[in-house]
């Protein structure tokens, strides 16, 4: 078997992606594990054609957060 060469950063990203795909980590949690901003993690999801889990519950929570901070 050929040696696998992967950096720690790549391993962290792959692990975070797996947790996110399996619904074991939220987008924010996975981004932290991957040591990326949420925006960069979302870009990685897009590159790999992995859908973002964002339903009505998440939307409603985001709206409430925006209201709480007087942003809408």
Nearest to 35 by CA among 53, 67, 70, 9: 9
Residue 1 has pLDDT above 70, yes or no: no
**Alpha carbon 52 to its chain's center:** 8
Two structure tokens written together for 39: 């925006």
Q: What is the pLDDT of residues 4-17, one digit of tens each?
A: 899 999 999 999 99
Q: How far apart are CA 13 and CA 30, in angstroms?
A: 8
Q: What is the pLDDT of residues 9-64, one digit of tens each?
A: 999 999 999 999 998 998 889 999 999 999 999 999 999 999 988 788 878 888 88
Q: How far apart are CA 4 and CA 65, in angstroms?
A: 43
């Amino acid at each position: 078997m050929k040696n696998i060469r992967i950096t720690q950063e790549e391993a962290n990203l792959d692990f975070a992606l797996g947790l996110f795909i399996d619904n074991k980590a939220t987008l924010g949690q996975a981004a932290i594990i991957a040591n990326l901003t949420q925006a960069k993690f979302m870009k990685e999801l897009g590159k790999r054609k992995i859908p973002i889990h964002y339903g009505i519950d998440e939307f409603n929570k985001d709206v409430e957060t925006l209201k709480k901070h007087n942003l809408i």
